């Protein structure tokens, strides 16, 4: 990345927040950014896994903050801590999320389970984006970037995934609206839709995943590091350029052509 673009700070002076940084995609993206010289604030519900992520890149600047993104007070405290310590925020990777109870038919899904998924995936994403937006709008130099973690489910659902799919479709609306409103303040907002990255959350896909025709078949997965590199590319663009939507998926997974 060149440091010569207007509005672009050197990577070594850039600060990012990664939510859900204690595992999976969040951990991989945080480690990729840390290796590239970013300061990365690792946010998540459990301190232990966050510290394990930080230890992946010894010597890097990777403070940890325990935060439940569905709790407005936790989110406010997270971004206040970032502002107080670093003075600015260049990137939010809005990643924290949950599948919720997998494989539950619509008629059997409890309201509590629905609410948990919505609170985490949608309300949490909004709260973090709002807090980041406020700081990016007011800081000097003004601006920054927000990357929302969508899903292939933002385009096409899996069977029995109504809560997860609904929130990921909503994430697309959140991304578009934030991108529009952020133009005046140099805030670039994009979304990465990911399919079958190899993480603990997707472990079962390799042994068998329910298909639209009722069959259960193994599905290909891809290395989560390939996702992390894509997020880093999006993050390190100058603010005059934006990847609005990117879809990164295992090449042979069921998606295009519905199979």
Confidence of residue 254 (pLDDT cuts 50, 70, 90): confident
pTM: 0.91
Residue in the block written with tokens 């700081």: 135
Q: Are 71 and 106 in contact (CB under 8 A)?
A: no
Active site residues: 164
Is the pLDDT at 1 greater than 90, yes or no?
no
Alpha-carbon distance of 6 to 134, in angstroms, equals 21
135: cis peptide before it, omega within 30°?
Answer: no
Q: What is the pLDDT of residue 216?
A: 85
Q: What is the pLDDT of residue 34?
A: 98
More confident residue, 256 or 225: 225
Q: What is the pLDDT of residue 199?
A: 79
**pLDDT for 82-95, tens place per residue?**
999 999 999 999 99
Q: What is the pLDDT of residue 202?
A: 67
Alpha-carbon distance of 254 to 259, in angstroms, equals 4
Q: What is the pLDDT of residue 6?
A: 39
Alpha-carbon distance of 259 to 245, in angstroms, equals 22
Q: What is the pLDDT of residue 12?
A: 62
**pLDDT for 177-222, tens place per residue?**
999 999 999 999 999 999 989 877 667 776 788 888 888 888 889 9
**pLDDT for 117-147, tens place per residue?**
999 999 999 999 999 999 999 999 999 999 9
CA-wise closest residue to 79 among 119, 124, 14, 128: 128
What is the mean predicted confidence (pLDDT) over 42-61?
A: 97
Confidence of residue 259 (pLDDT cuts 50, 70, 90): low
């Amino acid at each position: 990345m060149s440091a010569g673009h207007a509005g672009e700070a050197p990577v070594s002076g850039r600060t990012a927040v990664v939510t859900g940084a204690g595992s999976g995609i969040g951990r991989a993206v945080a480690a990729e950014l840390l290796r590239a010289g970013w300061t990365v604030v690792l946010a998540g519900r459990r301190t232990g896994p966050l510290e394990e992520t930080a230890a992946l890149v010894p010597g890097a600047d990777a403070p940890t903050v325990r935060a439940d993104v569905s709790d407005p007070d936790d989110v406010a405290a997270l971004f206040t801590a970032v502002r107080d310590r670093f003075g600015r925020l260049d990137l939010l990777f809005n990643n924290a999320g949950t599948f919720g109870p997998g494989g539950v038919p619509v008629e059997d899904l409890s309201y509590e389970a629905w609410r948990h998924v919505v609170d985490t995936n949608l309300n949490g994403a909004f709260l973090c984006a709002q807090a980041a937006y406020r700081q990016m709008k007011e800081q000097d130099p003004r601006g920054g970037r927000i990357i929302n973690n969508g899903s292939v489910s933002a385009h096409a659902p899996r069977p029995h995934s109504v809560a997860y799919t609904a929130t990921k479709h909503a994430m697309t609306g959140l991304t578009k609206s934030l991108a529009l409103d952020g133009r005046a303040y140099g805030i670039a907002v994009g979304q990465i839709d990911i399919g079958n990255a190899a993480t603990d959350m997707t472990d079962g896909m390799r042994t068998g995943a329910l298909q639209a025709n009722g069959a259960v078949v193994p599905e290909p997965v891809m290395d989560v590091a390939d996702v992390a590199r894509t997020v880093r590319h999006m993050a390190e663009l100058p603010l005059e350029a934006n990847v609005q939507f990117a879809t990164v998926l295992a090449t042979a997974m069921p998606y295009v052509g519905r199979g």
